Structure 1
Amino acid sequence: MDFTPTEEQTDAHELAAAIFGDLATHERLAAVGTGSDMELWKALCAAGLVGAVEDVGLLGLVLLLEEQGRTTAQVPFAATCVYGLLAVTAHGSPQQRGRLLSGIRDGSVVVCGALPAVGGVRASERGELTGTVPLVPWLRDATHVLVPDERRRLWLVRAADAGCEPVESTAPWAAGRLTLDGVPGEPLGTPAAYDAAYDDVLATARTAFAGLQAGVCAGSLARAVAHTNTREQFGRPLAVKQGVQLRAADAYMDTEAIRVTAYEAAWRRDQGLPYATHALTAAWWASEAGLRVVHTGQHLHGGTGADLEHPVHRHFLWGRQLDAYLGCGSEALQELGELLVNGIEGTGEAGGGAAA
């Protein structure tokens, strides 16, 4: 394995860091409230960062999402890249790719995902979808929704055809309750590969959002380090206390564990190798370790961390949301154990080869 970024990945990463760093400021996020910053979204698309994921692959996307996580920038970047760009590129028909990809690249098409499948949506023989999904992140921003039915078939649905009731989630992800009442759906993938498409998209999402969690944790820890180095108690910085140093060191190691497992899963997909168990490993670290890190970040701020308006509190909310998104740690661990016991790796050649 070689996680050394390519020149294209490095360039995209540096550009993302600059845009997120310049525009996703504390003041701007406070002004946006619980909605999305669509001006920032336009800037990211105009810079070509969504389209760049076609060239930099899932590993490149993980690098970009780390920068989003560091700033907790409120844009549907992860969702559109995972459920839109990568899903359509890997599993869409030539007609779907020709119709959707250009709009995804320029930001006029925003895709969110109602994954994982929970059995709440049924599809008729004519492809009409009925059911509800209680919470879909970024649904309020979306033009299209990728919806799995009870048989794990993936359907693209126009958001305008569905019902959307705003729902506030732990993190400000412009979420909504999706209601489908005989809504026409467009199948993604071929009948012979429905399961493979679902497995690939879910594993891709778990890997990408683990990368996002690595950024959230890195941002939380950076704020905690800055605070403890400048905050004094009895004439000495808090950072010189051994207890503070140990908490920060544990948080750093947890963050690196999230990062390296996400890198490995992403690299394997880009290489066309099986990566289902690796994606679940990354998801487990993102859930279990991510929760520890954002709690540490808030705790090391002392009473300041209890301020709901303090920037570190956003990292706490994002970390808590990512802990449960796509399955909490215990669920990921159970699924991983079942795969290992059954000797099934899966999710490799079709998805990885198409996205590389």
Structure 2
Amino acid sequence: MDFTRTEAQDDLGQLTRSITEKLVTSDRLRALDGAEDRFDDVTWRSLAESGVLSAALPETVGGSGFGILEQCSVLQELGRTLAAVPYLPSITLAASALAQFGSAEQRDLARKAALGETILTVALAEEYNDEPARPATRAEPDGAGWVLSGTKTTVPVATLAARLLIPASTPNGTAVFLIDPAAPGVTITRQQVVDLSAEAIVELDDVRVAASDLVGTEERGPEIIDWLLTRAAVGISALQLGSLERALEMVSDYARERTQFDRPIGSFQAVAQRLSDAYIDVKGVRLAVTQAAWQLDDGSATEASIRTAKFWAADAGHRVAHTVIHVHGGVGLDRDHPVHRYFLAAKHNEFALGSATDQLRRLGRHLMLVRS
């Protein structure tokens, strides 16, 4: 397998970094912490105007025809600066899914998202349900349309989205629906999460949707849900990789500059060992994420590679985040210090769509089935 980055990956990554390093400052992030919805509209508009949002989408929706590899390059750079923009839910997941499976009308929504004119999101998580591929949310046929009932949790930018992609169980299996957040029966409640991201609980109480709001067909529902979950896991892992890389750079610089007993603390064996372990962890995350993204791109992805990437992002993320805080000492516990934000982001990404333990359980179950 050739992990050499494509020219498009390099170009998109460099462009995203040039935008975010200029606009996403500590002061900007601090100001967003107090916002009702933590959304950096200035950076989002800049990404749209520069073509970053549309570049990694199919040509059918005005994109450049690139895919998940290029999207992971963007996500990694967004993770480096902790940019408060909904690239993962709106572009990597919702817009890409509509471009892949949607009707002409739904692809037009994806086109608007690619231009930054609208925001889309996907509701994948449910409370007390560790099998997102089999949603507890129900969709019952109602004449020519459907009636949806259920509750989704930690839905990204739900209060800002023009449409929500909602997976639901039907009498014949599973399907994905487009929901207008302003529709009768939809209740959106802002939810406070560890890193202050704009997330919400979405409650559906007999919400009626038209037949045209079904994404793809009911028969392709399981395929679409698996497509979304797979890319969500890899996308979260790519965000985590960017955050951990930058956090490791910050703590390494600190260990060289901070002195005790007239020596840089990085020269002490205990500190050096922690930093060495963190370096190896970040390398592990990079390898696992790169493998999963490449396999997704060429169609050879397996559940094992996806679970491995998410496991590394969660498990290594936990260790690296704590190393960053511990090496910084009391400074790292200060909520206003930049490294504390990276700790919170790492914890959020660790648990999003399943912790390291959850990934190992799923990976073990998958390997058992493969070998049986």
The answer for the alignment partner of 2:207 in structure 1 is: 183
Q: CA deviation at 1:274?
A: 3.2
Instruction: State how far apart, in whole Å, the 2-side matches of 1:212 and 1:271 are.
Output: 21
Q: CA deviation at 1:95?
A: 3.5
Letter in 1 for 2:155: V
Identity %: 32
The answer for the alignment partner of 1:304 in structure 2 is: 331
Conserved in 2, the CA contact under 8 Å of 1:70 and 1:218?
A: yes
Pick from 232, 236, 249 the counterpart of residue 263 of structure 2: 236
Q: CA deviation at 1:184?
A: 3.5
Residue-by-residue CA offset, 1:257-282 (whole Å, 9 max, x unaligned):
11211111111111122333211111
Point out the more displaced range, 173-182 or 200-209. 173-182
The answer for the alignment partner of 2:167 in structure 1 is: 148
Matches within 5 A, 1:1-356: 1-34=1-34, 35-54=38-57, 55-97=65-107, 99-116=108-125, 118=129, 119-125=135-141, 126-150=145-169, 151-161=173-183, 162-185=186-209, 186-343=213-370
Letter in 2 for 1:59: L
Counting helix residues as a fraction of each chain, which structure ranks higher?
A: 1
Residue-by-residue CA offset, 1:68-89 (whole Å, 9 max, x unaligned):
1111111111111222222112
Conserved in 1, the CA contact under 8 Å of 2:288 and 2:309?
A: yes
Two-structure CA RMSD over aligned residues (Å):
1.6
Higher relative contact order (CA 8 A, sep 6+): 1
Instruction: State how far apart, in whole Å, the 1-side matches of 2:205 and 2:117 are.
Output: 25
Give the 3-state SS of the residue equivalent to 2:300 in structure 1. Answer: coil
Q: CA deviation at 1:90?
A: 2.1
Letter in 1 for 2:191: V
Conserved in 2, the CA contact under 8 Å of 1:138 and 1:176?
A: yes
Pick closer, same or farther for the CA change 1:342–1:25 going to 2, 3 Å.
same
Give the 3-state SS of the residue equivalent to 2:159 in structure 1. Answer: helix
Instruction: State how far apart, in whole Å, the 2-side matches of 1:85 and 1:102 are.
Output: 8
Q: Where does the alignment leave 5 or more consecutive residues of structure 2 unmatched?
A: 58-64, 130-134
Conserved in 2, the CA contact under 8 Å of 1:284 and 1:328?
A: yes
Instruction: State how far apart, in whole Å, the 1-side matches of 2:121 and 2:195 are.
Output: 16
Give the 3-state SS of the residue equivalent to 2:219 in structure 1. Answer: helix
Point out the more displaced range, 126-135 or 35-44. 126-135
Give the 3-state SS of the residue equivalent to 2:301 in structure 1. Answer: coil
Q: Where does the alignment leave 5 or more consecutive residues of structure 1 unmatched?
A: 345-356
Moved over 3 A (4+): 116-120
Conserved in 2, the CA contact under 8 Å of 1:74 and 1:172?
A: no
Instruction: State how far apart, in whole Å, the 1-side matches of 2:168 and 2:326 are.
Output: 41
Q: CA deviation at 1:295?
A: 0.9
Q: CA deviation at 1:249?
A: 1.2
Q: CA deviation at 1:174?
A: 0.6
